[in-house]
Amino acid sequence: MTQVKSCPRCFQLMWIKDDQFEVLDENTLRARCPHCKELVRIKLTGLGANAAGPKMGH
Ligand SMILES: [Zn+2]
């Protein structure tokens, strides 16, 4: 799964593959931005109730 997030430093979009980030906790990833080369923390949103919702109705 590839995450698409905007960098909190340079605000450009990052495509982050599974092997390119560390999981800090269930809501936070850490990855190196390909644009500004900073190691940034990325908040995950929508992986909780939103992600589980559609599957439960199936
Ligand atoms: Zn950046």
The pLDDT tens digits of the residues spanning 4-46 come to 999 999 999 999 998 999 999 999 999 999 999 999 999 887 6
Q: What is the pTM of this model?
A: 0.67
* Pairing outcome for strands 13-16 and 39-43: unpaired
8 A C-beta contact, residue 5 and residue 34: no
DSSP reduced 3-state for 19: helix
Rounded Cα distance, 57 and 23, in Å:
28
Q: Ligand 1 mean position to 7 CA, how many Å?
A: 5
For the chain, which residues make up each domain, given as ranges? 3-48
For the segment 46-57, what is each residue's pLDDT rounded down to a tens digit?
655 555 445 555
- Ligand 1 centroid distance, CA of 13 (Å): 8
Is residue 58 a contact partner of residue 43, using CB atoms and an 8 Å limit? no
How far apart are the CA of 39 and the centre of ligand 1, in A? 8
